[in-house]
Amino acid sequence: MSFLDIVIQLGRGLGYTLLVTLCCSVTGVLAGLVIACIRRIGFYWLRPLLDAYAYIFRGIPVLVLLFIVYFGFPSIGLKVTPLLAMVLSLGLISAAYLSEVFRGALNSVDADEILAAEAIGLSRLQVFNCIELPQMLRFSLPGMINEFTTVLKYSPFAYTVGIPEITKQAMTLSAVTLHGVEIYFAVGVLYFLTFRILLFAVQFIEKRYRIPGLVLKQRSSI
Amino acid sequence: MALIEVRDLVKKFGDQVILNGVNLDIYEGDLKVVMGSSGSGKSTLLRCLNRLEEPTGGKIVFRGENIMAADVDVRALRQSIGFVFQQFALYRHLSVLENVTLALRKLKKLPAAEAKDKALAELERLNMASHAGKYPSQLSGGQKQRVAIARALAMDPAVVFFDEPTSALDPLMTREVADMMNRLHDEGVTMLCVTHDLKLAGQISDKVVFLDKGVVRAEASIETLSQDHADERIRAFFGREADY
């Protein structure tokens, strides 16, 4: 097996890793946002359900939930694809954590600003859209980058349900080439580079949308 | 006819009575000052008048309409009443200009260009047009308060409420805000200001309403209240404030 073959195989694995990370992160952000928004705006009867969801999903190991979804669901007639199983496990666990990040960020929005917006006649939904949501997204960025990193680091579980992501490729390559140390080192470097690129992208967004004058107080410590 | 008539207004939080039968009239063009110590119910009074707090009892008539009726459009009512807060309450993620245009776009549905022109005119009126691109964190306390006033005036309200407008400001900036309020008064803007800042009260109004334990105890000049009023507590309050 040539060096180029190894690079191509690792590259293919990296593609799957990025796909899993992206799908799970997007699911986590969207579901986390929906949960945080519902909790904030109203729907009081839904809150116990959402609180229970966040409480339970933050306490279940990713691998256990993944196996429940991928190996358990077919026994009740629900067959899910490997990627969907990752989204329903890692993605929804991420959503549970992100909903807490968003809740904390919403609590950082100045109550006086909300009161001022209501006092001028804006509806509850307008106050949320125009005042709370834009600030919440900015304040959430440090927590979001932490969660995206966690999702990236949990993505190797995808190989247990048959997704040939980068760790799976490395296992195969190391068995074939007997150069496990070098290959796993290369995998480590690729994960690190992916993390740095992700971080750079989020920091760029953070810089682009930071609130002048508040940047030092709100800036990520990462 | 008064612009706002308040009759026997009561507000309770649980068993705690905050307003215990307040009576007050505000006429067009008035600059009315309500004073009282902390916890006297001043801010609650303002919040009841635009239904940020639900009154427990009594009657509030605004432009001849009972605004405590069940079918009152509360959001429309609030659009007719400007509100300037103690801590300015500017939207910190929006520029000065955006702070002023937000309600114009969302509530008055003005096109962006028209809202911008209107906002700039209000900012110009308060000498803040040159700061339109700045963010609240980049302004001084006095400048923030001027933006908050411009934001309130941009909606062309029938009356502007000021809730302790100078409590977060130093004496120089307090003077600035007082001058601003006097100028607006000369222009015919109706204002209701609650404060415990006697200097501000003296700078903007000849007479003040004294609120104590949720009841209007007196309405007279500061001099009368501090020296000649029959109630010793009122004399003490204004005397102490005057010393301060």
Residue B240, pLDDT score: 59
How many domains does chain A divide into?
1
Contact B45, B211 (CB under 8 A): yes
B176 domain residue, yes or no: no
Q: Pick from A118, A126, A135: which is nearest to B93 by CB?
A: A135
How many domains does chain B divide into?
1
Residue B243, pLDDT score: 45
Chain B environment of A131 (Cβ under 8 Å): 91, 93
B113 domain residue, yes or no: yes
**Phi then psi dihedrals of residue A202, to 5 deg:** -70, -40
B209 domain residue, yes or no: no
Nearest Cα neighbor of A24 from A93, A71, A122 is: A93
Residue B230, pLDDT score: 79
- Mean pLDDT across the stretch A69-92? 95
B70 domain residue, yes or no: no
**B194-209 pLDDT tens trace:** 998 888 998 998 889 9
| Cα–Cα distance for residue pair A96/B197, rounded to 1 Å | 48
Question: A110 and B106: CB-CB below 8 Å?
Answer: no
Distance from CA of A135 to the nearest CA of B (A): 7
B148 domain residue, yes or no: yes
Contact B123, B100 (CB under 8 A): yes
Tell whether B62 lies on the interface with A, counting CB pairs under 8 A.
no
What is the domain-level CATH number for residue A109? 1.10.3720.10
- Cα distances from A30 to residues A87, A91, A94, A184, B38, in angstroms, run 12, 10, 10, 33, 45
Q: State both tokens at A103.
A: 């809740």
Size of interface A-B (CB pairs under 8 A): 77
Roughly how many angstroms between the first and final C-alpha of chain A, as a whole number? 40
B111 domain residue, yes or no: yes
Tell whether A175 lies on the interface with B, counting CB pairs under 8 A.
no
- Which pTM was predicted? 0.84
Contact B170, B216 (CB under 8 A): no
Residue of chain A nearest B83, judged by CA positions: A119
B125 residue type, one letter: R
**For chain B, which residues score pLDDT lower than 50?**
242-244
Contact A120, B155 (CB under 8 A): yes
What is the extent of the structural domain holding B114?
Answer: 92-156
Query: How much is the ipTM here?
Result: 0.89
Beta bridge pairs of residue B220: B208
Q: Pick from A119, A126, A214: which is nearest to B52 by CB?
A: A119
Tell whether A131 lies on the interface with B, counting CB pairs under 8 A.
yes
Provide the Cα torsion A199, A202, A207, A209; round to 10°.
Answer: -170
Tell whether A122 lies on the interface with B, counting CB pairs under 8 A.
yes
Residue of chain B nearest A209, judged by CA positions: B93
* Portion of chain A with pLDDT greater than 90, in percent: 80
| Cα–Cα distance for residue pair A169/A63, rounded to 1 Å | 19
Question: B106 and A213: CB-CB below 8 Å?
Answer: no
B46: number of Cβ within 10 Å: 23
Chain A environment of B88 (Cβ under 8 Å): 112
Residue A215, pLDDT score: 53
Between A195 and A215, the more confident residue is A195
**B54-63 pLDDT tens trace:** 999 999 999 9
Residue of chain A nearest B163, judged by CA positions: A116
Contact B49, B83 (CB under 8 A): no
- Cα distances from A178 to residues A1, A13, A172, B161, in angstroms, run 11, 19, 10, 78
Question: A212 and B52: CB-CB below 8 Å?
Answer: no
- Mean pLDDT across the stretch A213-222? 51
Helices (H) and strands (E) in chain B, counts: 9, 10
Segment 83-102 of chain B within 8 Å of chain A by CB: 83, 85, 87-93, 102
Q: State both tokens at A194.
A: 């992916």
CA B63 to chain centre: 18
| Cα–Cα distance for residue pair B150/B128, rounded to 1 Å | 9
| Cα–Cα distance for residue pair B136/A33, rounded to 1 Å | 27
Q: Pick from B89, B106, B107: which is nearest to A116 by CB?
A: B89
Give which of B91, B102, B122, B164 to mutate to test A binding, by max A Cβ within 10 Å: B91
**Phi then psi dihedrals of residue B19, to 5 deg:** -115, 130
Nearest Cα neighbor of B89 from A208, A42, A127, A138 is: A127
Tell whether B157 lies on the interface with A, counting CB pairs under 8 A.
no
Q: Pick from B77, B81, B85: which is nearest to A116 by CB?
A: B85
Tell whether A217 lies on the interface with B, counting CB pairs under 8 A.
no
Q: State both tokens at B43.
A: 């801010």
B110 domain residue, yes or no: yes
What is the extent of the structural domain holding A116?
Answer: 3-218
Question: A121 and B134: CB-CB below 8 Å?
Answer: no
**A1-12 pLDDT tens trace:** 788 999 999 999
Q: Which residues neighbour A77 within 8 Å (Cβ) at sequence distance 6 or greater?
A: none
Mean pLDDT estimate for chain A: 91
Residue of chain A nearest B140, judged by CA positions: A213
Give which of B44, B72, B78, B93 to mutate to test A binding, by max A Cβ within 10 Å: B93
| Cα–Cα distance for residue pair A94/A99, rounded to 1 Å | 8
